[in-house]
Structure 1
Amino acid sequence: MTNFDPFAPGAVLSIRHLGDNELVDAARTIEEEYGRQLDAARLAIAAEVEHRSWRMLGSDSLAAKRGCRSGTELLERTTGAAVNTIRKRIRLGEKLRDRSNLVGEAWPAEFSVVAAAMAEGKLSQDFAAAIVDELAPAAHRANPDHLRAAETALVESAATPTMTAGELRIQAVVWRAYIDPDGVAPDEEEALAKRGIRLGRVNGGLVPISGNLTPLVAGQLERLFNAYLTPRREPAFRPDGDAPAEAEPDELVIRVDRTPDQKRHDVLGGILSAAARDPETPKLNGAAPTVLVTVSAEDLQNVTGAGWIDGIDAPLSIKTVRQLACTADTQTVILDQNGAVIALGSPTRGFTPQQRKAIAARDGYYCAAPGCGAPGDWCEIHHVMPHAEGGPTEIDNGVLLCWHHHRTLGRSGWEIRINEGVPEFRPPSWMDPRREWIRVSKSKPRILAQLKRALRDTG
């Protein structure tokens, strides 16, 4: 079998006709025989253009001769590549370019081992960046022999057939900590000074969040995400091709079509709800940090219009406002047509800690939604009969629901009721045309009782 030639006539169009093995071989061929050489050339050209466009050369600089302000602009206009792409090439290329001192003496590149490997087509730009980006900060503090040993070892490791750029970067981080242990503390101090989280302006109904976390905080958050997003806790669902009518009621689960980012968002929502309920959370104006939701009496009564969260410009649908009335960490402010306050929902209308313990015990300390494994501590208590419609804040009217299932209950097609003190779920017709009520059993004592009854019946 001949190697794939991307320059052959019709080569790109023929890719869809390649067999599985041929397709994988083509991907490898493109990278090893063409991609790496192109990467090396791009980096060398970018560094050389930048060198010849040095501002100190004035009108004699290459960029100035072409009517450009810098080598970056010249490359942008010449290649059409994005500015960020060009800047990355220049920064990396300069680390791999031979140098000279003030008297014209030639010096090897700062990372000569990486440069040689790239010139020989052994490294891609991603591999080179993984090594250089991590080792460069230590270059002026570490022992030169140790630095060269780290560089050599990483280049050799990159040759491993299964190695990826991400894995190589992890190795480079370890090498840097080893050869430059004194650099860890200053890096931490600098990182600590840059830590922070920012909430942006509302855009399209969403509030962007950005910032920087310290490794410790990031690690804690990542561990929490991993703990509650592990596949064994993922709600199962039936493939589209399965006929819902043939499903056994006990096997039906609430379908969840969320991206990993959406799942992390919902986990964070659960964390914040739990934190607001924690008695150790600092008080705000003498009370627990409660979100204020403002809505007009007319809109609330007619289920139209919108509500507003204090401090956030994005509107909330009335359906969402009514759902939030279930949670103890929100408080509804109702205004008349003139804007006067006519009612202030009591934050104590939420379920008490003792009620919450009882409901959690009954629901098995997990979200009661079929198939969901969200922990009870992060769940909210949902009023089965809405509080806005006179539903009592009592154990027999409450059920544990995670942030996601609480927010999507109204539009998912599922219904909830309490039957003989136990939550039951009714699936939407697209999942079960019979729409039979499902009694969810997550409480271990209740499951044990069911087993005992089953054993007695068979005995």
Structure 2
Amino acid sequence: MSVAQSRMGPMSTFVDSLARLGDALGDVVGPMLGERALATSADDEVVAALVQGARILRWAEAILVESAAQLAERSAAAPHADRPETRRGCASVAELVQRATRVSRRSAGDILAAARAVREDVAPSSGERLPAELPHMRAALAAGHVGVDGLVAVAHVLRGCPAGRAGILAADEELAACARGEGADGAPPANADDLRTMALVWEMHLDQDGAEPRETRALRKRGLTLGMRRDGLVPIRGNLLPEVAEQLQRGFDALLNPKVDGVPVTGPRFVDSGDDAEAGADELDAASEAAADIRTRPQKQHDALAAILMRVAGSGMLPTLGGAAPTLIVSVREADLVRGRGGATLGGSSEPVSLAVARHIACTGAVERVVTADNGRIVAIEIQDRVFNHHQRRAIGLRDGGCLIPGCHVPFEWCELHHVEEHSRGGPTHTDNGVALCWGHHRTLDTSGWEIRVRDGVPEVRGPHWWDATGRWRPTTKSPSRLRDALQRRAAGE
């Protein structure tokens, strides 16, 4: 009997058993979703279903890992034409795993990474099975204590550790015990994030001098580059040192933190206008306010980085360029700006940008009007400073409290001041014509559907139709003192 034939019998029985398990599981899952069986269950039952589902998932992932390990082993030992992936029209084992499991490419890579860590290779000379790279984690996988993400978290850290085999095995044993809930501290079974943290601790313990070589490599590889502009975007690539990335993340967190100091308000932060017609208007709930900001997390982080850069550039702390602070320069023909047609250019590039960029920059900074003769000679230079002074800025900050758009929680210190009536159309640089907007909402104000006006010195917003179909103008603020005043008025029945 050939080796292939000897495999068919038990393998066929094994696959049949899995098929029966799958059918039985389908009989449970079908009613659970189709008939919403959990909808009438108590909370404890729902949580128990979650726990059992995760237990089944970990065992299912063990099947995927072991199957992928077998495919990788056979692929490495066979001529190219006889490899499992080649005979099935795939370019690699990873592609075969992805096609067979219908997971993402990244998930297929994780399955193979886990397989490498627990695969028991065969010694070429003796044919004996060799211990896995992480034998204790393999046992934890087989017992359903750890899944792919936890296994990959451990393997990724320990694989890069230059410690000897004995040290790796000690870490493997302890981490597997933690996955089972049998660690030294008696903690419950560790999740994937916990296992990664513990693995990093073991790495530092086993390689106490390892941080220095890593530091040298990191310093050598650090860098940041801006690519060529394409489709209105500039790609950014590079590697940040950990402390730089952490500081940037803290900046993001500070700007994007939804917590607002002062009296907590569960709904939109609208201030009663005092108008009887609007006094009884229905308030939108907190979910509606959150939905008002439809930017994705990466988009919010982009806008937070823009705010940080603009703030630093205007701080006066950077070295000068040509005798002046590093200033963003946008060039636009006056006729184009007045008509609202045409384009503009940034100082360091000849490629056009939209007029929205010019309007945004002009709203927040000084405008230098350069008059040229037909032959290009500069005839006159006029400077219009439309920057709110620090007294006006403080006053607007006390009134608005932060970005005026509902659902946005960028604090006032990181906001720009927007001329509600454009300065180019006669709008004054006055507190009654200035409101606080974060960089992102200021930059997209012309296209986002939000409208702003100031009535009797109080800013009001009107949201896009999808957010508020009534089209009602609503006073709004993030100022804690004004919020308390509004709450007190509502409590008094005013």
Q: Give the structure-2-normalised TM-score.
A: 0.71
Query: Which residue does the alignment assign to 2:53?
Result: 27
Query: Which residue does the alignment assign to 1:186?
Result: 213
Per the alignment, in what secondary structure is the counterpart of residue 326 of structure 1?
A: helix
Per the alignment, in what secondary structure is the counterpart of residue 209 of structure 2?
A: helix
CA-to-partner distance for each residue in 1:198-252, whole Å, 9 max, x for gaps? 33333443323232221101111222222232232499766xxxxx983369x99
Distance 1:413 1:270, change over 3 A: same
- 1:96-111 → structure 2 map (5 Å cutoff): 96-98=118-120, 108-111=131-134
Given the alignment of the two structures, is residue 63 of structure 1 paired with residue 63 of structure 2, yes or no?
Answer: no
2 CA distance for matches of 1:409 and 1:248? Answer: 24
CA contact (8 A) 2:65 2:115 kept: no
Query: Which residue does the alignment assign to 1:261?
Result: 298
Per the alignment, in what secondary structure is the counterpart of residue 155 of structure 2?
A: helix
Distance 1:41 1:330, change over 3 A: farther
CA-to-partner distance for each residue in 1:144-181, whole Å, 9 max, x for gaps? 44432221121122235764323322221222122222
Distance 1:96 1:375, change over 3 A: same
- Code of the residue aligned with 1:214 in structure 2: it is L
Per the alignment, in what secondary structure is the counterpart of residue 364 of structure 2?
A: coil
Query: Which residue does the alignment assign to 1:424?
Result: 459
Query: Which residue does the alignment assign to 1:400?
Result: 436
Query: Which residue does the alignment assign to 1:158?
Result: 179
CA contact (8 A) 2:73 2:121 kept: no
CA contact (8 A) 2:117 2:133 kept: yes
- Code of the residue aligned with 1:141 in structure 2: it is A
129, 147, 151: which one aligns with 1:124: 147
Shift of the alpha carbon at 1:274? 0.8
CA-to-partner distance for each residue in 1:384-428, whole Å, 9 max, x for gaps? 321222333345533332213322433433222263xx4421424
Per the alignment, in what secondary structure is the counterpart of residue 382 of structure 1?
A: strand
Query: Which residue does the alignment assign to 1:241?
Result: none
Shift of the alpha carbon at 1:382? 1.3
Query: Which residue does the alignment assign to 1:16?
Result: 33
Query: Which residue does the alignment assign to 1:215?
Result: 242
Distance 1:297 1:358, change over 3 A: same
- Code of the residue aligned with 1:75 in structure 2: it is V
- Code of the residue aligned with 2:301 in structure 1: it is R
1 CA distance for matches of 2:368 and 2:179? Answer: 57
Query: Which residue does the alignment assign to 1:351?
Result: 388
2 CA distance for matches of 1:434 and 1:208? Answer: 38
Shift of the alpha carbon at 1:280? 0.7
- Structure 1, 342-351 or 258-267: larger mean CA deviation: 342-351
2 CA distance for matches of 1:340 and 1:92? Answer: 69
Runs (5+) with no aligned partner, structure 2: 1-18, 39-45, 182-187, 269-277
Distance 1:452 1:231, change over 3 A: closer
Given the alignment of the two structures, is residue 224 of structure 1 paired with residue 254 of structure 2, yes or no?
Answer: no
32, 40, 45: which one aligns with 2:66: 40
CA-to-partner distance for each residue in 1:235-292, whole Å, 9 max, x for gaps? 9766xxxxx983369x997932222222222222211121111111222222122112
CA contact (8 A) 2:404 2:477 kept: yes
- Code of the residue aligned with 1:325 in structure 2: it is A
Shift of the alpha carbon at 1:91? 5.1
Count residues in correspondence: 433
2 CA distance for matches of 1:64 and 1:434? Answer: 67
1 CA distance for matches of 2:437 and 2:225? Answer: 29
Per the alignment, in what secondary structure is the counterpart of residue 232 of structure 2?
A: coil
Distance 1:310 1:270, change over 3 A: same
CA contact (8 A) 2:332 2:345 kept: yes
1 CA distance for matches of 2:120 and 2:349? Answer: 54
CA contact (8 A) 1:247 1:432 kept: no
Per the alignment, in what secondary structure is the counterpart of residue 282 of structure 1?
A: coil
CA-to-partner distance for each residue in 1:14-36, whole Å, 9 max, x for gaps? 66326235964773354144332
Shift of the alpha carbon at 1:136? 1.5
Query: Which residue does the alignment assign to 2:42?
Result: none
Per the alignment, in what secondary structure is the counterpart of residue 400 of structure 1?
A: strand
Shift of the alpha carbon at 1:79? 5.1
CA-to-partner distance for each residue in 1:67-119, whole Å, 9 max, x for gaps? 97xxx945357556587766655555444344688976965333222234335
CA contact (8 A) 1:290 1:330 kept: no
Distance 1:189 1:129, change over 3 A: same
CA contact (8 A) 2:345 2:351 kept: yes
- Code of the residue aligned with 2:403 in structure 1: it is C
- Code of the residue aligned with 2:176 in structure 1: it is V
Query: Which residue does the alignment assign to 2:14?
Result: none
Per the alignment, in what secondary structure is the counterpart of residue 325 of structure 2?
A: coil
Runs (5+) with no aligned partner, structure 1: 53-60, 239-243
Shift of the alpha carbon at 1:184? 1.6
CA contact (8 A) 1:109 1:115 kept: yes
4, 15, 22: which one aligns with 1:6: 22
- Code of the residue aligned with 1:274 in structure 2: it is R
221, 230, 233: which one aligns with 1:206: 233
The sequence identity of aligned pairs, in percent, is 31
Per the alignment, in what secondary structure is the counterpart of residue 329 of structure 2?
A: strand
- Structure 1, 160-169 or 279-288: larger mean CA deviation: 160-169
Given the alignment of the two structures, is residue 133 of structure 1 paired with residue 174 of structure 2, yes or no?
Answer: no
Cα RMSD between the aligned structures?
4.6
Distance 1:448 1:26, change over 3 A: closer
Given the alignment of the two structures, is residue 388 of structure 1 paired with residue 424 of structure 2, yes or no?
Answer: yes
2 CA distance for matches of 1:383 and 1:183? Answer: 55
Per the alignment, in what secondary structure is the counterpart of residue 259 of structure 2?
A: helix
CA contact (8 A) 1:413 1:428 kept: yes
Distance 1:119 1:342, change over 3 A: farther
- Code of the residue aligned with 2:361 in structure 1: it is L
CA-to-partner distance for each residue in 1:185-204, whole Å, 9 max, x for gaps? 21122122222223333344
Given the alignment of the two structures, is residue 75 of structure 1 paired with residue 98 of structure 2, yes or no?
Answer: no
Query: Which residue does the alignment assign to 2:5?
Result: none
Given the alignment of the two structures, is residue 168 of structure 1 paired with residue 204 of structure 2, yes or no?
Answer: no
